[in-house]
Structure 1
Amino acid sequence: MSVITWVRRKSRLASLISAPGGISVGAALKAADANLAPMRQEAMAVINDRLNTLSTIRSEDGPTDARVDRVYQASSTILDAASPFDLAHVSRAAHNLCEIADSHQYGRPFDWRVVDVHVRAMSLLMSLPTDDTAARDQVLQGLYQLAHKKGIAQKA
């Protein structure tokens, strides 16, 4: 009879974590936050610029389909700019608008009030205190209900 023996190899990551002189997870997160801090102002400028772009697209005349594509692009940029920072609610609101724009059927009318509501909601979310999660959640629930009325199912 033979016996099979498994030789477990320690992963490189496990070796690095156990090595003396390494960095703790908490210290690494603090360093990452410090490295992101200078980029926060740039991200906020991008978000504000795209919110203005969304308002401009809303008020323009022109082919609906091309304008809806631009709504998707602008809200996607907001999503990308907000994601690395403590703007999760803004990211979710931008994602919600992306879902609505993405579900638009070409050649059909688009309800531009949806863009207005999302622009106002994202502006509100950015102005609320960071510790007011109840109010932020309430704003998001309203946006989700709006998307539901437009036939968008929220993914968990």
Structure 2
Amino acid sequence: MRSPHIRNVATSLQRQMARPGGIAVAEAVSRAEQGLEAQRDRTLLILQDKVDALNDLCARRAPETTDEVYAIASALVDMAGFLEIPPFYSAAYILCDAAHRMVAAKAWSWPQVEVHARALTLILANDCRGGDEIDQMLAGLRAVAEHKIQAVNDGPGQAEQG
């Protein structure tokens, strides 16, 4: 029996890749960043629409919409991560986590969701910039979420159902 003979076959893609040309990495990165920046305004409008929908859910307080709150918060986290806007991302993430925990504990709190929705609205109004005030607001959101979770863990009837 003969041993197999291996041949190296040059494909057209290999030949094209071997030819000099194209653009420098720095130019490619610059173009990619310009492309992302072009999407920023459109994505900010979508963020605003999602926050408006969240505020609408808070106004209606329909029990069957609690899953929608989590879905909106999750979408906000994804988009804020895409745009790399840390303050908005943090606020959306805290809401997402709080909504998940409230559903799991069967202790929904519309006032808590409203606080988060207002914070997201304020961050958008501030062009998603950070700062000491925003950092304090985010710390407050974390404290509210942790307080509500602790109230649920301390026993039934402790969490506000509002």
Q: TM-score, normalised by structure 2?
A: 0.68
- Residue type of the partner of 1:46? I
> Does the 8 Å contact 2:102/2:109 carry over to 1?
no
Inter-partner Cα distance in structure 2 for 1:24 and 1:138: 40
> How many angstroms does 1:49 deviate by?
0.8
> How many angstroms does 1:24 deviate by?
4.7
- Which of residues 73, 80, 84 is equivalent to 1:82? 80
Inter-partner Cα distance in structure 1 for 2:58 and 2:143: 21
Larger Rg: 2
- Which of residues 115, 131, 134 is equivalent to 1:117? 115
* Alpha-carbon spacing, 1:61–1:129, altered in 2? closer, same or farther (3 Å): closer
Which structure shows the higher helix fraction? 2
Q: TM-score, normalised by structure 1?
A: 0.71
SS, match of residue 92 in structure 2: helix
How many residue pairs match? The answer is 132
Q: Percent identity?
A: 24
> How many angstroms does 1:98 deviate by?
0.6
RMSD: 2.7
> How many angstroms does 1:139 deviate by?
1.6
* Alpha-carbon spacing, 1:28–1:140, altered in 2? closer, same or farther (3 Å): farther
Inter-partner Cα distance in structure 1 for 2:60 and 2:46: 21
Report the counterpart of residue 43 of structure 1 in structure 2. 43
> How many angstroms does 1:136 deviate by?
2.2
* Alpha-carbon spacing, 1:145–1:28, altered in 2? closer, same or farther (3 Å): farther
SS, match of residue 151 in structure 1: helix
